[in-house]
Amino acid sequence: MKKILVISHVYSHPTNVGNKKYILDYCKALQEKGAEVYFLYIGKQNKEEELQTSEAWGSKAFYIYLSGYDVFLGRCLKYFCKKILKRVMLDYLFVKYGINNQIRNIENEIDPDTVIVNYYWLSKALTLSNAKKRVIATHDCFTNKFERLGIQDLSMTPSLEQKYLRRSNMIMSIQENESQFFRYLAPHIPCITVYPPLTFTKQEIVNNKNILYIASNNHLNKEGLVWFIDSIFPQIVSLSSQYTLIIGGKISDSVREYSNHPNIKILGMVDNLEDFYEQGNIVVNPTLKGTGLKIKTIEAISYGKLVITSKHSSEGLYDNKDIPTFIGESSSDFVEIFKRIEREGNKIFESQQLRCSQYIKDVNDYSNKAIDKLI
């Protein structure tokens, strides 16, 4: 039985954010293939999250805790490098005295065949490892992030991202566009794309004109949603006054000014995704910029919805030529798609469910084969 050590700066439980879910999903996939998976958390202690993580992993969970002083020192080092040296410093978690030996001791106890670290700021652990496979799970692409998206924190040059990639002998990316870029930066290191495992949930086609949108609260999501509401939604309502935009998730906090709109319903946080998606047949994702996996697009596909996205919000997904989404590059494109929905009625929703079901099966088969390479 192959042994795999997964190193993370976030606890695996509670699984309440996307990166935790992705980590836990690929760990479960490895376990289903017969691998013995261990989990090492490095960071500040949170007793409640530690308890839940320990309940899930039992004796296979390990912890290296950073004190308040360690965290403060790391932040000072990170700030000094950024402001004075004008470069990104990602090894700030390793300021803890003796942490290198702690990591080595845990690895010696487990003797893993594969070590997987999550994010670049833990990649130094790969330089301490003797495992045959030393994998960096990137989760995101950070090259020129400020220039591309206006996100200054952790934005780095191509050469710096290349440096961190080269600490591994295998790269695991969350979406294909980023995999292609990593293959360019590090052509001699194998790079695999592992999408989160998905379950297709068929829901009843409902007799309404609800348009669903759910997202986290960041400025990129807000920009896309405001563009949709201001530039596209009035034209859709002119096709039929029955169209209602239902907004869920933390993004609700950013668009409260639209709460008095007669055709907009703002829900706030959503406790049950299945209940949310049962409210309509149509999902929009008009976000125009961003990185990482377009999780809300693929999530809506997994519920068999007719998904209308910007070009950006379908990029990097599996089999880019056959993604079961309708892509609008302009406001007029979006409106034309809604005109088609008006013409075809339930037939378009029924055919969409079939496309989505097959697509989810294909994505899972693809990722399942990629996971084999980690063992």
**DSSP assignments along 191-256, one per residue:** EEE-PPP------PPPSS-EEEEE----HHHHHHHHHIIIIIHHHHHHH-TT-EEEEESGGGGG-G
Residue 149 has pLDDT above 60, yes or no: no
| pLDDT for 265 | 94
Report field, pTM of the whole predicted structure over 0.95: no
Provide the 10 A C-beta neighbour count for residue 83.
8
Domain of 101: which CATH number? Answer: 3.40.50.2000
State residue 176's pLDDT score. Answer: 86
DSSP designation for 67: P
200 within a domain of the structure (yes/no): no
Q: What is the mean pLDDT of residues 42-63?
A: 95
Claim to verify: residue 173 and residue 247 sit in the same structural domain? no
Question: Which of these three, 142, 166, 194, is where a domain ends?
Answer: 194
What CA–CA distance (Å, rounded) separates 357 from 321? 16
User: What's residue 121's pLDDT?
Assistant: 87
Distance CA 209, CA 306 (A): 12
Backbone torsions φ then ψ of 135, nearest 5 degrees: -110, 135
Q: Could you give the dihedral angle defined by the CA atoms of residues 152, 153, 159 and 165, in that order, rounded to the nearest 10 degrees?
A: -150
CA distance 271 to 340: 32
pLDDT category, 294, cuts 50, 70, 90? low
- When pLDDT is cut at 50, 70 and 90, the band that residue 5 belongs to is very high
Q: What is the CA radius of gyration of the chain?
A: 22
Alpha-carbon span 180 to 222, nearest angstrom: 28
Chain CA centroid to CA 256, Å: 26
Stronger pLDDT, 290 or 175, i.e. the higher one = 175
- Both 176 and 243 in one domain: the answer is no
d(CA 135, CA 171): 6
Q: Please say if the pLDDT value at position 276 is more than 70.
A: yes
Give the confidence band of 10 by pLDDT, cuts at 50, 70, 90: very high
Domain count, the chain: 2
Same domain, 91 and 232: no
Q: Is the pLDDT of residue 67 over 80?
A: yes
